[in-house]
Chain A
Amino acid sequence: MDIKKEKNGTTLTMALSGRLDTVAAADFEKELNASLDGVESLIFDCADLTYVASSGLRAFLMVQKRMNKQGKMVMRHVQDAVMEVLTMTGFDDLLQIEK
C-alpha cells in the first residue's frame, strides 16, 4: 500500500492506495503514530484504496479514537468494496465517512 501525505497547517491529508492488509496495516499504524502530533483535522482520501482487512479496520478504529480527542477524522471517496466491509461490520457508524 502507498501513502501520500500532504500537511497544511493542522490539517493532514493522507491519500491511501492499494490493499490495506495485515502487513500494510502494521506500517500504516506506525506511519499514523508518527504523523498525528498536532494534527486537528485528518483526512483519508480512499479513492484508490481497494481492500481493507480487519487489521486495517482496527487501525482506522484506533486513529478515529485518537482523533476524537484531538480533532476530527474523515474518510473520503471510499470505494464500494471497502464500503461493503465497513457496512457489514457496522464500522460505518464508528468512522466518519463522507460520500
Chain B
Amino acid sequence: MKLDIRRRMLLLALSGSILSFLALGLIVFFGAAAMRDTVMERGRLLGVSASGFVETFAGEQARRRLSSHVGDKALLIEREFEHTRRDAEEIAQTMNLILAAQGDYLPRALPDPHTETVASGEPYLNMSRAVEAGGVDEEARRKMGVAANIADSLAVRNRFYTGVFVGSKDGWLIAADVTKDGAPARFSEKFLDSYDPREMNWYKLAAEAGKTIFTDLYVDTNGTRCITCATPFYDEDGFAGVVGVDCNAEEIYQQAVDMNSAGATDVSFILNKRGEILFSTKREGTLAVADKPRDLRNCGDKRLEMEASAMASGKNDVSLVSIDGEGVYLAYAPMASIGWSFGQVIAQTEVTYPARYAKDNLQTQMREFAGDVRGNVRRLAGVGAAFLLLALLAIVALSVKASGHFVRPILSLTEGVNEIAQGNLDRKLDVHTGDEIERLADCVNDMTDNLKTHIENLAKATAEKEHIKAELSVAQRIQEGMLPAVSSVLSGQTAFDLDAGMTPAKEVGGDFYDFYMLDENRLAVAIADVSGKGVPAALFMVVAKTVLENCTLSAKPEESLADVVARANDRISQNNDQMMFVTVFFGVLDLRTGVFDYVNAGHNPPLAALGGEPFAYLVPEGKPDKPLGVMEGLAFHQRSLTLAAGDALFFYTDGVTEAVDEKAELYGEGRLKAALDREVNPLPSMKELLAAVRQDMSAHVGEAEQSDDITMMALRYSAERRPIA
C-alpha cells in the first residue's frame, strides 16, 4: 500500500533530518575522536620529548653543577695550600733578609724544649744531641741567635697549620707547634734528642728541588694527616736551610667537603698524582681510603681507570662511570699546585631524579589530560545524543504539524472535488494557501464553471435535438404517408402484381416511389432519387413527387409521356437556386396491351425479365436524359416496351447498388442481377422477390452502416384482366 502524502512528507522530513543529524553526529563524533587521538598522541609525544628534554637538561645541569662544585672545592683547597706556600715563602724571604743583614740583628734566645715548657704556638729552638755533640762554635751560636729573630715571623697564621718551622743546614730547628688542645707542647726526650731537620723528608725535598715543594701526605706525631710545604732559604754562602709549614690537610679537605653538598648520595675524594685516594667521605668500597695505598688507575674497571688517569694527570671533566656496581656521575677538578685532583661522585639516579620526576609528573598530567579529553568527548557524545533525540522529537512534532498544514488544503480540495463529482457544480473550492494548491483549486473552480456552462448548453442543445428529432419523426411519418400503399392499386384486379419498399438512411429520405392508376387501364409507376438526404432532400422529394403526379394527372391527351416529364422538369427547375435535382424513372403500363412507355431522367436503369429469360438492364441507346431540376427547357426521350404475361420489371435507386460492405465494396449491379436471376424460374410474388433481394443485400452488407436510402419496386404483368364489376 502506498503511503499518503502526509506520511510521505513526514517520512521525507524525518529521513532528511535524521540523515543530516547522523552526518553531523558522525562528523562531530569522528572529529572529537580524531581530536582526542591527536591530543593523546601529541600529549604522549610531548611527554616523551619533554621528559627527554628535562632528562637531558637536568643531566646537563647536574653535570654543570657537579663540575662547578668540584671546581669550587678544588679551588678552595688549592687556595689554602697557596696561602701555605705564600706563608712559607714569606718566612723564607724573612730568613734571607735576616741572614743577609746579620749585623743588624742581635742574637736572641728561644726556649729550649729540653728544659723549658713551650706553649702551644710558641717558637722554640731545638738541636739534637748529635748536633750539639758535634760542637757548636761561637760563630755558629751567634748565627743561630740572629736566626732566632725569625721567631716573630713564625706566629701561626692559619688554623690549618699544625706547625711552622725553620730547619738550618747546621742541624738546628726553630719551630712553633700547635697542639690540638692548646696546651703546652709536650715533646718526648727521644724526639728532641734525635730530631735533625736535615734528615727530614721535607728538608731533603726542598733542598734538593731548590724551590718550594709540598710533601706527600703523611701522618704526624699527633696522628693528624698533614702535608708540609717546604721552601729553601739562603745566606751569603748560598743554601742555608728550609722553611716548613705543616698543614692539617684533612681539615682543609673537610672544610671543602663541608662547604656545600651536591646531594645526599655524593662522595668526595682527593686523588693524588699516583692515583691514590688521599681523602674520601667514603669509608669502604673502591673510593675509600685504603690502609695500603693503591692506584685507582689499576682498579680493574677500564672506564674508571681512564677517569682516574685523567684525574691524576690534572684534567677536568664530568663523566658517567660505574663504581661498585652503581651508575654514578664522576666530576673532578685538579689542584695544580699540589698535584691533587678533587673528585666528587653522585648517584646517577639522584641526578636524573628531577628529570624522572618531571617526566613522571608530565606523563601523569598527560594521562589526566587524556582522561579529561576522553571524559569530555564522552560527555560531548552524551550531550550530542540527548540533543539529537530532542531535536528529532521536535522535528517529528514540527513535521506532523507542517505536513498537516500542507495536507489540510489537499484534503479540503479532495472533499470539495468529491462533492463536485457527486454533481454539485455550485460548490466552490475555498483554498487560500497562495501556492500550487490554490492555483489547482482555482483551476478546478474554473473547470466547474465551464462544465456547468457546457452542461447547460448541452442540455439546451439536447433539448433542441430532441425537438428536432421529434419533428423529424413526424416528418418521417408524413413522408411515409405520402408513399402509396400497395393495396391501393392491387385490390380488385389480377392484371399485375406490384410491391415496393423504402429504407431511409436517415429519418427522412430523398428517395421515393409512386404508383397510381391514371384510368382503369393505365398504371403509372415512378421511382426517384433526390440529390442529398435528410430534410432538404425530403422537402424536394415532396415537391418532385407532387409536381410529377400533378403533371401526369393533368396531362392533355395529345401530350406524350416525355412532354409530361419535360413539363414537370420545367416546374421543378424554376427557382431551384440550391440546384437540387432528382433522378426519376417514370413509366406507364397499359394493362390491356402490355405496352410500357417510360422516361428515364438520369436514373439507374431498371431490370426486366422478359419471356422467361433472366433479368436484363434496360440500358437505353444513345445519351441518357438528365435528372429533373437541373435546368429548364430540357427535352426527354420516351421509350417503350411491350410486356407479355409473366414478364417482370425491377426498379431501384443507387442505394441498392451502392450499398457497401465492411470493406467498402459495392453491392453492385452484378450481384443485384444475380440475386434477381436466382428467382426467375418460376418468379415468386413481387413481395417475395423484394424480400429475396433485401436478404441478399444484407448478406453482403453485414454490419456496415447504411449510407443511402434503399428503395426498390417490382412489377409483374399478368394480362389477366378481371372484368370490372
Give residues in A with beta carbon < 8 Å to B.
21-22, 25, 51, 53-55, 57-58, 61-62, 65, 87-91, 93-94
Contact = CB atoms under 8 A, between A and B. Distances in A.
A13 B625 CA distance: 30
B602 A55 contact: no
A54 B579 contact: no
A92 to B, nearest CB: 8
A88 B624 contact: yes
Given A53-B708, A54-B531, A54-B532, A62 B627 contact: no
Interface string B563-579: 00000000000000011
A52 to B, nearest CB: 10
A57 B708 CA distance: 15
Contact of A22 (B532, B578, B624): B532
Q: Which of B532, B580, B623, B631: most chain A Cβ within 10 A?
A: B532
B529 interface: yes
Contacts of B583: 54, 89
A91 to B, nearest CB: 7
Given A22-B533, A25-B532, A54-B654, A61 B579 contact: yes
B630 A61 contact: yes
7 contacts: A53-B658, A54-B530, A88-B604, A88-B624, A91-B626, A93-B626, A94-B626
A54 B580 CA distance: 9
A88 B602 contact: yes
A90 B624 contact: yes
B292 to A, nearest CB: 147
B3 to A, nearest CB: 53
Interface in B602-624: 602-605, 623-624
A61 B581 contact: yes
B453 interface: no
Q: Which of A21, A51, A88, A89: most chain B Cβ within 10 A?
A: A89
B579 A90 contact: no
A89 B631 CA distance: 13
Interface string B589-605: 00000000000001111
B602 A89 contact: yes
Contacts of B603: 88
Nearest to A66: B579
A62 B576 CA distance: 11
B623 A90 contact: yes
B651 to A, nearest CB: 14
Q: How large is the interface on B (under 10, 10 to 19, 20 to 34, 35 or more residues)?
A: 20 to 34
Nearest to A91: B626
- For chain A, what secondary structure do more than half of its interface residues adopt (helix, strand, loop), or is it mixed? helix
B533 A57 contact: no
A57 B630 CA distance: 10
A43 to B, nearest CB: 20
A58 B540 CA distance: 13
Given A53-B708, A58-B579, A61-B581, A89 B626 contact: yes
Contacts of B579: 58, 61-62, 65
Contacts of A57: 531, 581
B531 A55 contact: yes
Given A57-B581, A88-B605, A90-B624, 11 more contacts: A51-B658, A53-B654, A54-B532, A54-B654, A55-B531, A61-B579, A87-B624, A88-B604, A90-B630, A91-B602, A94-B626
B433 interface: no
Nearest to A21: B707
Contacts of B625: 90
A89 B605 CA distance: 10
A90 B603 CA distance: 10
B626 A90 contact: yes
B130 to A, nearest CB: 175
Contacts of A53: 654, 658, 708
Q: Which of A58, A65, A87, A93: most chain B Cβ within 10 A?
A: A58
Nearest to A90: B626
Interface in B623-658: 623-627, 630-631, 654, 658
A58 B531 contact: yes
A61 B583 CA distance: 14
A53 B510 CA distance: 12
B307 to A, nearest CB: 127
A89 B707 contact: no
A51 B623 CA distance: 21
A22 B625 CA distance: 23
Nearest to A64: B579
Contacts of B708: 22, 53
Given A55-B531, A58-B581, A89-B624, A94 B630 contact: yes
A51 B668 CA distance: 13
Q: Which of B578, B583, B627, B707: most chain A Cβ within 10 A?
A: B627
B580 A58 contact: yes
B628 to A, nearest CB: 11
B626 A54 contact: no
Nearest to B529: A54
A94 to B, nearest CB: 6
Contacts of A61: 579, 581, 630
A11 to B, nearest CB: 24
A65 B530 CA distance: 19
Contact of A89 (B510, B627, B658): B627
A88 B708 CA distance: 18
A93 B602 CA distance: 12
Contacts of B602: 88-91
A93 B707 contact: no
Interface string B345-369: 0000000000000000000000000
A25 B532 CA distance: 9
A96 to B, nearest CB: 15
Nearest to B634: A90
Contacts of B581: 54, 57-58, 61
Contacts of B529: 54
A35 B580 CA distance: 22
Contact of A90 (B510, B578, B627, B658): B627
A28 to B, nearest CB: 12
Contacts of B578: 58, 62
Interface string B273-306: 0000000000000000000000000000000000
Contact of A93 (B532, B580, B604, B623): B623
A25 B627 CA distance: 18
Contacts of B627: 89-90
B541 to A, nearest CB: 12
A57 B529 CA distance: 12
A77 to B, nearest CB: 21
Contacts of A65: 579
A23 to B, nearest CB: 9
Pick the 8 closest A-B CB pairs, nearest first: A90-B626, A89-B602, A54-B531, A58-B531, A55-B532, A62-B579, A61-B579, A22-B533
A94 B625 CA distance: 11
B392 to A, nearest CB: 69
